[in-house]
Structure 1
Amino acid sequence: MSETQNPPTENGGESPGTTVLFVTGMSGAGRTSVANVLEDDGWYVADNVPVSVIAQAVDGVRSSELGAQKVAMVVRANGPGFAEELATLRAELADGGAHTILLFVDASDAVLVRRFEQVRRRHPLQGTGTLSEGIAAERDMLAGVQADADTVIDTSDLSATRLRSIVANAFPSSGGKRLSIAVQSFGFKYGVPIDSDLIADMRFLPNPYWLPELREFNGRDASVRDYVLGQPDAIEFVRRYVEIVDIVARGYLREGKGYMTIGVGCTGGKHRSVAMSEELGRLLAAETDGDGNPLYDVEVSHRDLGRE
């Protein structure tokens, strides 16, 4: 099994400018999977961009509101002169101050045949010939590109998790690997959010709805928040739940999953779940690693707040 070769470096360790990563290789070898990993890790990714417009596209992304400094372009062979065209583009971008990296994604012919047969799709260069002939034509067309590549990843024997790990380690995001956590309050009477990875049920706490002085307020109001968090076991619950999230988060990162949704429910989604979601989000956002860097990117929302 071949993984990465010649891992890239960025301008000798100096503060880099724009990095343009070209993702190319054999059809069916995993270009799209690699692009998904890069996008999850904070790269700006554009797929199937013609080589002739990439320079303008990079300038547009760099000068836009995005201000992206790490740009990945998924490019596909478009003719016999593809290798020379790509080499010329890299030289032009380098002259303009960009750091370019060429990643080639490969797999054995037997694996490529099997993958195309599994999805029942024609090879883009197959034409009226056989699948094997299409693969051979593309491999011949890309021989020069592979020879120029800074990094080659052979996906023949790689699981999706292993591929994600290799790509994430070879091309790290500028901010380091952090799990994104969405904390969402909801009301059980309106249904459990179908995209929740974890569910926390707050119905074990007294319901402020039954107190006339609190009924018209919600969990973001100080009076309701203080009432909910002041109940026996409320603070202990949310602190222990953070410990559970920490354990699950480590497993998610090991498995290559970069996003977690936590549903926090009560009966109507107005009082207890809102207050506890806000507190859970606050505690998770305060979690740091040994160097004081945030462990998570946290967003708190309230699905059913405002419903009658």
Structure 2
Amino acid sequence: MTDTGQGGQRVLLVTGPSGAGRSTVLHALEDLGYEIIDNLPFSLIPRLLDGPPLSRPVALGIDVRNRDFSAAGLIELIDRLTRLPEIAPEVLYLDCRPEVLVRRYNETRRRHPLAPDDSPALGIAAEIDLLAPIRARAEALIDTSELSPHDLKAEIGRWFGASGTPHLAVSVHSFSYKRGVPRGLDMMFDCRFLTNPHWNAELRPLDGRSDRVARYLESDPRYAPFLNQVRDLLLFVLPAHVVEGKSHLAIGFGCTGGQHRSVAVAEKIAIYLAEAGWQVSKRHRELERKAAGAADMAQGDKA
């Protein structure tokens, strides 16, 4: 297998809602030297990777048109590949706002695969709900809502290009310790020592993305030194990971509920790293769970 610097064959799983730009991304990856395989049934993917060593990184296009597609099946496949020491799997999720997807379908007059006889908006909503667990597992997330095909190709080149300078994709995660530590974190910081906004009745309904919560945390004298030292540590170690050939680094921030402290710190650290020139994606696990649950309840009310 090809050495990626992480001890295994690089396998990039490319997915996201229909119309988000998957075909454009696969063509861009092919231009970057990836072996491209689109819509291969899940059952055949392990067999493909069990075969002879591959001389190039592999990009697998996956969407709801895959013959045996299911969110649970894809998560099971990701877990299976992760357990193989000779494989270095990554999930790239192409995100896009629903209204933009609707506009793209109306412009092309295509039928949505989940609603071939209905409005594309119905299929888009169903597909976004179906893919929510996959989005929550993605190492890299690119929002294509405002990107032209040319811009998207350039973005893929910045993320996955192999030109002279090795690339490192950084994902910053927030999570609740009550729900367990996310799998795949390379570094983890505990934020539970900070003053908890949960005990402020006005701040309790908000989350760490709120300016009010951020200002409240800034009043804790330990907050700024903690942020500064974490930032300095990361800016020191990230270039070393690039030198070692690592392609992805996952950094986690945890607190009790995963709503206030860890979210606020993750948001701030992501800004620091982006300002320093690193490609950064953010993941707020508990907020995403909450949003998915609210969407399910809304769907149930409509039914």
TM-score normalised by structure 2 residue count: 0.49
TM-score normalised by structure 1 residue count: 0.48
